[in-house]
Chain A
Amino acid sequence: MNWVVKTLTSTLGRKLIMALTGAFLSLFLVVHLIGNLQLLKDDGGMAFNIYADFMGHNPLIQTVSILNFTFIILHIITSVILTRLNNKARPVSYAYDGKSSAWSSRNMGILGTVILIFLVVHLSNFWGKSKLTTFEAGSYVPYVTYGEATMQNLYDVVAISFQEWWLVALYVVSMIGLAFHLSHGFISMFQTLGLNHSKYNFVIKIVGYEFAILVPAMFAAIPVFMFLNLQGGLLYLFAGIGVLALVVGAMVSNGHKQQLAV
């Protein structure tokens, strides 16, 4: 298995780790988003609570979630190693640096750190409250009963938290950070995996930017809508996202055309 270690510790191997873990985390974002959008359903939180209970007790989901945490840690550790090596590769910096690439591409580390800080806050707020307390020992989380099933009323926790304007603001800012992180990361992942072909690059680009903007936008909409206590939130959200998708699509394809013309 020596070749595996050798491969994964080469510069290209480390890139591969970044890409593959990044790909998994992107997928996680989608699943997480679909679940969380239920917060905006006008049903007093029932759908969300049932979903959360299922996610919290299903053994398969539990396994995947361990994998998820592992990948997050691997993504972070590898990026730290890479960044240190990359900094070493240029011991003396330029007096005048002209910068010929996108800001987000150059600052994935900063964006990643923003996301990491967010993760800590986010996890301690919800995941921690739910997992690290038990009913017997006195819980942070109230309980609710639907028919015969009794479960944690996580919806309440969320709804109360999102009455704090600063927390909502933190979420929005973090999601902007995530959007920039994804705007480089998602497309970059394909390049690292060797998927770069003039016939398909447009598709990768448009999917990449739509993903990078729409997913964080929807995540950000949840605390905002809940803060505003908007009724029929889901409907507004989908309408808004639809418009945003069209705008992003038009901008990307216009940029692509101009690039081709050059």
Chain B
Amino acid sequence: MKLNAKSPEGVLAEKWDKHKFNIKLVNPANKRKYDIIVVGTGLAGASAAASLAELGYNVKSFCFQDSPRRAHSIAAQGGINAAKNYQNDGDSVFRLFYDTIKGGDYRSREANVYRLSQVSVNIIDQCVAQGVPFAREYGGLLDNRSFGGAQVSRTFYAKGQTGQQLLLGAYQALSRQVANGKVKLYPRTEMLELVIKEGKARGIVVRNLITGEIESHSAHAVLLCSGGYGNVFYLSTNAMGSNATASWRAHRKGAFFANPCFTQIHPTCIPVSGSYQSKLTLMSESLRNDGRVWVPKKIEDAEAIRQGKKTPEDIKEEERDYYLERRYPSFGNLVPRDVASRNAKYVCDEGRGVGKTGLAVYLDFRDAILREGRKVVESQLIEYNGSVKEYEKAKGKPYDELIYVEGKKIIEAKYGNLFDMYQRITDDNPYETPMMIYPAVHYTMGGLWVDYNLMTSVEGLYALGEANFSDHGANRLGASALMQGLADGYFVIPYTIGDYLAKIGHADKLDTADEAFKEAETEVKARIEKLLAIKGEKSVDDFHRELGKIMWEYCGMSRNAEGLKYAKGKIQELRKEFWSNVKVTGENDELNQTLEKALRVADFMELGELMIDDALDREESCGGHFREEFQTEEGEALRNDEDYAYVSAWAYKGENQPHELHKEQLTFENVKLTQRSYK
């Protein structure tokens, strides 16, 4: 099968408008005759469900949480990019497009990314109209900040809770459509199978998480907005419930899985503290604007710190290695996420890591506090005619302490809530001792393969947001995930879905009594029964933890062929053991959280193996995928555009059969491929 991305012909800037004009429309009076299933209620899912219902379609919206408002989009802190150029600093749709393509290490589709940049401006308008309380300046206009090393200030934010506010906006729009009777909500309901007949997606089979009932839902089209698969690694910044089951089940039914090895490791997370650890917490990337990353120069010092014999304050300035500033003088601490993460791994591998486990580096605010403090104090000093003595007398504190106090105030205003969060979790005060951070799995760029219309390789099945592979290439830029989720849901799918629906007509819908549904139901029930019948020794978490360890070790921040091959064998063994030795208590016909987990972990194990296959196939380093065999002399990622400028789209071929690789060649007409350099 040849993959057809359906990118429109013509000039880049006109593609989307032309496409919108060329695709079919559904007559307004006919829209109410179409049913659409939306799985997931995050930014992509909620915005799509709301927008489609506004157009007149009948929408069924599913989520496994108790309310649509809990989807993990809510946890995004930093912000959302948009090419508004409100700051007059030279931003434009083309610049956002260019930054995104380049940041993604040239592994994404030009037409998609350009469209994303175009609609980014509409998203902000839409969200403000919904009442999203973005940060504002005194003049009442929207505030922006520069984020993730971008050269312009194009990030809109709502305190450190941008994801929450955007999601609540979409959730409220969704709620409005529920009240209008156009959306029916199915909370605490998990999709366990996709139903296909005659090559078209016809509906889904779900489990009611409270009663355990297996139910079928039929529709003209199915939208998967079920997020990423970072939880393959067990420890990640994803929510505990985030899972890949919806995507993976669709994949097994024929949807290609694209670029599964592209995972993003976020550099600033709170390090692991013990084996009981259940999840990792992200500290906003904005911290790197003021914090300096360092480890001791000498391994002995690092060792002493690990054993508690020395504190970071004991390490003199000249004994500290500010390794990012040293290696990347022009970008310093603000290098992109993949570079920052990889370098943290290197210094820890060298034995210079800190913290009890040795898997942490310092993020130090001392200099920022002093720098900001000095500014304030010097400006206050003028009032005392520059006399330090009088100043000290008036303030009742020594000069140096005043610098610290004033500086602390400034840092507190910027990052107060983050510092509090850090202190709550670690019991360390980051104003007094440096923070400790370590990279953690954060986002997955890979996902179901989709064409320009966001349709997967199965007709009538769409994937939106993090669930698809589309716009971030091999590495996602900060504040771009929220943008993509909302772009897909608010501004892409409402147009592109019409093309398909108009083509098939409203009569083309399957009854849930059809044997295709019955078969899928039987399949799901058998899977559940099988899990409940094993009654083995090991818990689901045991398996999940083990899977995570293998993936992190061999398919994490850096990978090599030997390790990957070894890991593949380990996962196969683990999977075999899982199906013979997992212990799932309770019954199906009740709220059974162990069973829910078991179903998800079973799918993670299969997906983990595919990630390894993909990482093995891609014999180059790009973005979040770093193959040790392919690096420059200085240890930077070495891309191979000649042979690997393609999207790998994997087809499922059956239980224990090798996947089949399909390649979508990427062509770049508007950007020149360059080696990323942050030196």
The reply, when asked whether chain A contacts chain B directly with Cβ atoms under 8 A, is no
